[in-house]
Amino acid sequence: MPDTSLVAIAISLLYLGSVACIYRILLTYRTTQGAIAWIIGLLGLPYLAVPMFLVFGRSRFGGYVKARRMGDQALTALLNRFERQTTSLSMLQQQHLDRPLQVLCKLGRQPFTEGNRCDLLKDGEATFDALIKAMENATSYILLEFYIVRSDKIGQRIKTTLEKKLSEGVQVWFLYDDVGSFGLPRAYLKELAKAGAKVASFGDGNIRRRRFQINFRNHRKLLVCDGKIGFVGGINLGNEYLGTVMDQEPWRDTHCRIEGPAVIGLQLAWLEDWNWASNEFPNLDWSPKEKMPGDEQVLVLPTGPADTWETCTLFFLSCINNAQSRIWIASPYFVPDVQIVNALQLAALRGVDVRIMIPEKSDNLFVGLAAYSYLVQASQAGIGIYRYQPGFMHQKVILVDDHYAAVGTANLDNRSMRLNFEIIAINTSTTFVTEVDAMLTKDLAHCRRMTEEDYQDRSIMFRLTCRAVRLLAPLL
């Protein structure tokens, strides 16, 4: 029989831990609903809620904030130099740099830049071919940052290319997320390091920063070569993006190749992440080419839980609230919070063509079920929710009127809004917007529009399950 005094001590410690968690919540919470849910759980079921809070509960990435402040002087100097060396649209006072776009500049702490060339890359084969070509042509350095890296055919192809460039004297910095790349063999990383690459994990690169947390993932996917050519979008380094994995639906995704001064914005975001993960500040090229490769205007917008504001949420709200004729959003995960839902409803009610494209079959059961629970609200307001049929749609693309388009890594869910580090490239060029329009129009032709009946005609158990799962939205 257990000693009652030991049991009493254990229970007391458990409730002390619960009180400490509540104290933390009251100091740092971002949403009232989330704070109340945690507090109720911590008081009612502390033996379950305390361990869960340790894993899921933090709402701010404090360590990154401190690292940012420590390196902020050097990063700020680089940003100021970037603004001086590049031609921003605001400096030219072009009429289409209206207030919504100026707000996006302030959110990203970066300017729109002129003289860029952007190429849409549809699906894995085109993206990987372009990535490999850019790396093969690099002469000074290669910066990689991916959420998922696999040691499959694609992963080995990337590693072989990097090892070849290292043997030619090109420097390589390789940053990955330790949760997203959980299955990546250590041998893969050791072989890269042995060849001369600098390798770091975003989650546990520094022993002092380790936390028993699965939140705050680095969900960015980017590549920079020589500070001149960069890539950003939804594609990770794995065979699934080729649609060749056995028993798996083909993947539909979009990436973007950028050449020009906007690449420096990608490089700044990478540098901040690398500095956090490794405490290093590599010496890179920060001078854009004098001869610009194109005529497109691009803003790179990094977002994450270390930001002063909820940058990703504010980005989506700005896009939705300022849309005049249409807003089309492609996202594999659709679990928006109430303010995003309200903004979408208001946009539809004022006559904006609101279309949300999601996959027919989700790779996350809970996310797929939660999406059904929004159908009634969406249908009644005139919001179109379209399910992509041919396979799993993983692209993250936004089209606002004929004004601007964005390609990046952010989803319409809580993780992207508040927990993950994301990055988005926004382009105001008419040429680029037209290409995105054509691409999404083609994708929508392979979709079916969902109706209120898709939800209402299902069994009561299905509807209850969808509503119950929606309560988990902050964790999905």
Residue pair 227/267 in contact by the 8 Å Cβ criterion: yes
DSSP character string of 56-74: H---S-HHHHHHHHHHHHH
Catalytic position from the list 165, 228, 255, 394: 394
CA–chain centroid gap for 439, Å, is 21
Whether 221 is catalytic is yes
Helix (H, G, I), strand (E, B) or coil at 369: helix
C-alpha neighbours within 13 Å on the C-beta side of residue 72: 10
Catalytic position from the list 123, 177, 178, 226: 226
422 class by beta-carbon count within 10 Å (0-12 exposed, 13-18 middle, 19+ buried): buried
DSSP classification of residue 349 = H
Whether 403 is catalytic is no
Whether 396 is catalytic is yes
H-helix or E-strand containing 383? none
Whether 394 is catalytic is yes
CA–chain centroid gap for 221, Å, is 8
Catalytic position from the list 159, 165, 219, 255: 219
Cα gap 232→57, rounded to integer Å: 29
Looking at residue 287, its amino acid is S
- Residue 395 CB contacts under 8 Å (≥ 6 apart), including other chains: 233, 234, 252, 253, 254, 330, 332, 407
H-helix or E-strand containing 289? none
DSSP character string of 223-278: EEETTTEEEEES--BSGGGGT-STT-PPEE-EEEEEESTTHHHHHHHHHHHHHHHH
Looking at residue 3, its amino acid is D
Catalytic position from the list 401, 437, 446, 454: 401
Helix (H, G, I), strand (E, B) or coil at 43: helix
User: What are the tokens at 77?
Assistant: 């100097």
Catalytic position from the list 221, 228, 255, 403: 221
Cα gap 179→181, rounded to integer Å: 5
- Residue 201 CB contacts under 8 Å (≥ 6 apart), including other chains: 175, 176, 177, 178, 181, 277
- Residue 245 CB contacts under 8 Å (≥ 6 apart), including other chains: 239
Catalytic position from the list 159, 228, 396, 403: 396
Do strands 384-388 and 353-359 pair parallel, antiparallel, or not at all (unpaired)? parallel
Residue pair 254/121 in contact by the 8 Å Cβ criterion: yes
Active site residues: 219, 221, 226, 394, 396, 401
